[in-house]
A and B are shown apart, each in its own frame.
Chain A
Amino acid sequence: MPEAAALELDGVEVRYGSVSAVRDLTLRVGKGEIVGLIGPNGAGKSTTLNAIMGLQPAHRGEIKLNGQALRRRSVESIARAGIALVPEGRRIFGDFTVEENLRLGLAARRRTYIGDPFGPAFELFPILSEFRGRQAGALSGGQQQQLAIGRALVSRPDLLLLDEPSLGLAPLAVDGIFKAFTEIREVGTTILLVEQRAQRTVALANRTHVLVGGELRMTLGPADADDTEKIIAAYLAS
C-alpha cells in the first residue's frame, strides 16, 4: 500500500428498514488523497457518507478511521474523532451569524491551536471574515457553501466528507469551491467528495468510484476525465 489509509470501508451494507440502500461497499481513502464518489440520484452516495458519520449506522461491515473502528459510536463522537461532513443542502444555521456558525464548528475540535481559531476558514474564504457579523441566512448560495465548508474545517478534521457541494451553485462559485478542494488537500486534509459533476470530479480526484444502485460499478482515474463515453457508460451500467 502506498499510503496509510485515512478511511477504510469494508463490506459495508446500509439499510433503511428492510431495504438496503448500499451493499457490500469496500473502498479506501489514503491520507492526503481526494477520492471521488459519483453516481446517479438515489445511488446511495449520501447514505454512504451518513453511514461513515454514524447518522445512519451500517447494518454490516466495518468502517475505520486511521485504523480505528467507528462501530456503534455516536455522531458527535465520530465528529470529535476527526471526521467532518459538509451535508447535503449545506445545513447552515440561517438565523445565526457567520461567526456563530463557525463557532459551532469548533465543537468537534480535538485540541486548541495557536492563532485565530477560524484561520482555516478565513484563509480559504476571506469573504467569511469580512461577513463574520452578518446573518448566515442572508449570504448568497455560494457564500453559504463556503461557510459550510469553513465550518467543517475549523474543527481541523483529518477527513472531510462533502455531499454534493456544487449543487445549485452558479458556475463561478463552482470553480471557486473546486479550487478550494485542491487547497484543502495541500494542507494535508483527506477528502471524500460526493458529486454529480462527474467530469470535474474525475479530473480532480486521485480516484473516483462510480456508485450505481448501491453498488460500486467502476473506478476511474484522472486520465479518464476526458473520456466522456466511459463516464456515461459507467453511469448506465445497471
Chain B
Amino acid sequence: MSVLASIDLQTLGDAFGLGAIYALMAVGIGLVFGVLRLVNFAYGQLIMAGAYTLAYTSGWPVAASIVSCFAVVVALSLAMDRVVFRPLRSSSPAVMLVTTFAIAFLLQAVALIIDLRDGQLGEVASSIAPLNQAVSVGGVDVRKVTFVAVGVALGALIALALVLTRTTIGLHTRAAASDFRTARLLGVRANRVIAFAVVVSGLLAGAVAVLLTVQNPFVQPDFALEDTIIVLVGVVVGGIDRLWTATLGGFAIGFVSVLVNAALPTDQTVFLPSVVYALVIVVLLLRPAGLFAWGRRAAMERV
C-alpha cells in the first residue's frame, strides 16, 4: 500500500487542524521563551487546567464555560510568573527548566486530587462536544472543529503579528526578546513585557484547551502532556530563538504526526513517537540551529 494513497481529505483536514493547534502552543511557549529565556515545560498543565475548567462548568452556557476556561488559564499563567518565574529570573536556564518540570508535576498532582473527589478518574466536558460533529465537504466528512481550529489559529496568529509589529507593547516585547539588557536600558519595563508575554501565552493556552477538549472531551490529569512534549520538540526543531520559526516547527510536527499516523498500518501506530523522534534527530543533526533558521547563526551565539 502506498503512503500517499492512505492520505485522504479527512486526514489532510486533521493534519491541518492538529498543526494549527500545535502552532498556537508553539507561539505560547515561544513568546515566554523570548522574554524569559525559559522553556516552560508546565505549559501543558495550563491547558489541562483549562480543560478541567470546561469539564466542571459543563452545565453552564457554552460561552460562560469558555470564558471561565480562559480566565482560569490566564490567572494560573500570571500566578506561575509571579510566584515562580519572577524570583528565578536571574537563575541559570537549567534551574528554570527543572523548576518548570516540578511545577508541571505539582499541577498534575493537584488536578488528580481535585479529580478524585468524586471517586472516579477523569471528567467529561460535554457542553462543547457538538463542535466535534462532522460536516460534509464535497462528499467527504470533515469535523467542524478542524475548521474552527484552523480559523482560530490563523486569526490569533494574525492578531498577534499585528500587535507585535504595530503597537508599543509589541515593539517593547520584540526588543526584550532580542536584547533584554539594552531594552531595559532604554526604559522598557521588564515586568510589563513579561506580563504581556505571559498573558498572551495564557490566552493561547486557553484557546488550545477549548480546541483539544472538543476533540477529546474526556479530561484527565495528563491531558495535553504528550501534545506539549511533541510541540516542544517541534519548537526546538523549528528554532525556538525566533517566534515564527518556532510556530512553523509546531505546525509542522502536528501536521506530520497526523500523516505518519495515517500512513502507518493501524497495528503499528505505537511506533508513531519513534518515527517522529527519528525525524527530529535527523533534522537536528543536519540543522542544529533549527529547521527554519535560514541564514542565521546558531541560537547559542547570541546569549
Measuring CB to CB, which residues of chain A are less than 8 angstroms from any residue of chain B?
Answer: 53, 55, 74-76, 79-80, 84-85, 87, 91, 93, 95-96, 100, 103-105, 107-109, 151, 155
Contacts and interface: CB of A to CB of B under 8 A. Distances in A.
Contact of B172 (A79, A80, A107): A107
A76 B171 contact: no
Given A91-B182, A107-B189, 9 more contacts: A74-B190, A75-B185, A76-B187, A76-B190, A91-B185, A100-B171, A104-B172, A104-B183, A107-B168
Contacts of B286: none
Interface residues of B, number: 17
Interface stretch (B173-181, B254-262, B274-282): B173-181
Contacts of A151: 186
B179 A91 contact: yes
Contacts, number: 58
Top 8 closest pairs, chain A to chain B, by CB:
A108-B187, A107-B187, A79-B187, A91-B182, A75-B184, A76-B184, A107-B188, A104-B186
Contacts of B190: 74, 76
B171 to A, nearest CB: 6
Contact of B175 (A85, A93, A155): A93
Interface of B: 168, 171-172, 174-175, 178-179, 181-190
Contact of B185 (A87, A100, A103, A109): A87
B186 A105 contact: yes
A165 to B, nearest CB: 15
- For the complex, would chain B's binding face be called helix, strand, loop or mixed by DSSP majority? helix
Contacts of B187: 76, 79-80, 107-109, 155
A2 B183 CA distance: 36
Q: Which of B175, B179, B186, B190 has the most CB of A within 10 A?
A: B186
A91 B178 CA distance: 11
B205 to A, nearest CB: 28
Contacts of A107: 168, 172, 183, 186-189
A76 B182 contact: no
6 contacts: A55-B181, A93-B179, A95-B178, A104-B183, A105-B186, A155-B187
A41 B86 CA distance: 36
B182 A103 contact: no
Nearest to A148: B182
B188 A87 contact: no
